[in-house]
Amino acid sequence: MPQLQMVSRTFIWMLLLTAACFAGQNTTASSRPDPGALVRKAVENEIKTVNEDTDRFMFRGTKTTPKGSTTKIYVETKEGTAGLVIAYNGKPLTPDQSLAEEARVERFVNNPEELKKKRNQERADQERTLRIVRAIPNAFLFEYAGEEHGSADIGRVGDPLVKLKFRPNPRYEPPSHVEQVLTGMQGVVLVDAARFRIASVDGTLFRDVSFGWGILGHLDRGGHILIQQQEIATDRWNISRMSLDFTGKILLFKNLAISSTEVFSGFKKVSPNLTFAQALELLKKEATAVAENPTTGKLALK
Is residue 48 within 8 Å of 241, Cβ to Cβ? no
Closest by alpha carbon to 77, among 286, 267, 271, 265? 271
User: Is 39:21 a contact under the CB 8 Å cutoff?
Assistant: yes
Beta strands in 207-253 (DSSP E): 209-211, 217-219, 224-233, 236-250
Neighbours of 268 (CB within 10 A): 17
Distance CA 261, CA 242 (A): 6
> In angstroms, how far is the first alpha carbon of the chain from the final one?
33
In this structure, what are the phi and psi dihedrals at residue 167, rounded to the nearest 5 degrees? -150, 160
Cβ(217)–Cβ(210) below 8 Å: yes
10-residue averages of pLDDT along the chain (302 residues): 44 44 40 57 68 87 96 94 94 93 91 91 82 76 85 88 85 83 83 78 88 72 89 84 91 86 94 94 90 72 52
**Residue-level pLDDT at 24:** 37
Tell me, what's the pLDDT at 63? 96
Q: How would you class 26 by CB atoms within 10 Å of its CB: exposed for 0-12, middle for 13-18, buried for 19 or more?
A: exposed
- Rounded Cα–Cα distance for residues 42 and 34 (Å): 12
The H or E element containing residue 52 is: helix 35-52
Instruction: Say what the pTM is.
Output: 0.80
In the chain, the DSSP E strands lie at: 56-65, 68-77, 80-88, 91-92, 140-149, 160-168, 185-192, 197-205, 209-211, 217-219, 224-233, 236-250, 254-270
Whether residue 232 contacts residue 56, with contact meaning beta carbons closer than 8 Å, is answered with no
Per DSSP bridges, beta strands 185-192 and 160-168 are antiparallel
DSSP annotation of 180: G
DSSP assignments along 17-48, one per residue: HHGGGG--S--STTTPPPHHHHHHHHHHHHHH
pLDDT at 17: 44
- Report how far residue 232's alpha carbon sits from residue 196's, in angstroms, rounded to the nearest whole number: 15
Q: Is 9 helix (H, G, I), strand (E, B) or coil?
A: helix
DSSP 293: S
Question: Which pLDDT does position 43 carry in this prediction?
Answer: 66
What pLDDT score does 5 carry?
Answer: 44
